[in-house]
Amino acid sequence: MLKRGSTIGILGGGQLGRMMAVAATQLGYRCIGYSPEGDNVAAEVCEDFFTNRWDDQAALAAFAARCDVVTWEFENVPVATARAFPSDKIFPDPKALETAQDRLNEKRFIEGLGGKPAAYAKIDSQSDLEAATDRLGAPGIVKTRRDGYDGKGQWRIMSGRDAAALKLPDVPAIYEGFVEFDAEFSVILVRAQDGEIRFWDSSRNVHESGVLAASYLPAGEAVEPQVEQARKLAGQVADALGYVGVLTLEFFATHEGPIFNEMAPRVHNSGHWTIEGAATSQFENHIRAVAGLPLGDTRTTANAVDMRNIIGRDIEAAHAFLADADTHLHDYGKSEVREGRKMGHLTRLTRA
């Protein structure tokens, strides 16, 4: 258990790290961050921030020397960087990154635990893609195996003609068959160092152009009967990885039950509602877990929740929403405003 005043290192400098650092400060800890690039908004709430390359061994050593424990805020931290820290000093275990960073390995891992992903095929060439669309049908989607998020590194295939015309990037990819679903939802859990697991209520999620637009609670009749089965798989994933911290699995609710979509070994956008809408937020519970503290209560404290992302220039008018009762604004403080970029979020609560 980390004593009061200890320092938590955060790999990554985005809004998730920012909200994580705020939660850590409230628990009596200091935070320092490390990220080589980007608009490092977490730096504003960290005691110090390293802007060095991921492979800068001297900088990583200096960073590690100042940290009592290290965690990360996004899943594209290089595995080699995470493994540069002693195994008893970094949470979650870097094998979670190793699993989630390759979509093919991730799907095979899920299948090995009895989960069901969308039908998929490994793509290394144009002929692989054409064979995959013949076998799995179209529509479908091509995804790079690494680095894509928020709709990046993805191409929709509506027909065999699209497959033949697509100029594949020179990187490993996969093809996923189309899933007919009634809703999308996420399972977010926190696992403590002693193996205790707690779940938040699952939200129904709505995506626009591959980016999460909104999350709602209650999730509704399409989602709620499938949550228990999805939680079982998520718990198996956490146990298999020896996971410590917050873990997210995204699912499609279908007539055949929950279909696994993807895993995020971190706090998640669809859990932002927990800051105001749950007894303990995902950010606080992540810090509690990596610090070895008892986990907090994850129950929902509102009758209904509506969380909306603020995208691009919509942030410039966001203060107007505060005229609505029980509406909470989180501005991430990003200096560069551009189309499709998450600039903040709003959470509206309905209470009894």
From edge to edge, which strands make up the β-sheet containing 154-157?
A: 120-123, 173-177, 140-144, 154-157
* β-strand partners of 155: 142
Enumerate the known binding-site residues: 103, 143, 148-154, 176-179, 184, 207, 261-262
Residue 318 host element (H or E): none
Question: Do 285 and 272 form a contact (C-beta atoms < 8 A)?
Answer: no
- Residues in binding site for ATP: 103, 143, 148-154, 176-179, 184, 207, 261-262
Q: Which two tokens stand for residue 336?
A: 């560069």
Strand, coil or helix: 232: helix
Handedness of CA 48, 52, 58, 61 (dihedral sign): positive
DSSP 199-219: EPPPPEEEEETTEEEEEEES-
DSSP strands (E only) in the chain: 7-11, 30-34, 48-50, 69-72, 120-123, 140-144, 154-157, 173-177, 183-191, 197-199, 204-208, 211-217, 245-254, 257-264, 304-311, 327-331, 342-350
Angstrom distance (rounded) from CA 115 to CA 294: 30
Angle between helices 227-240 and 103-112 (to 10 degrees): 110
CA–CA gap between residue 58 and residue 169 (Å, rounded): 34
Cβ 101 vs Cβ 79: under 8 Å: yes
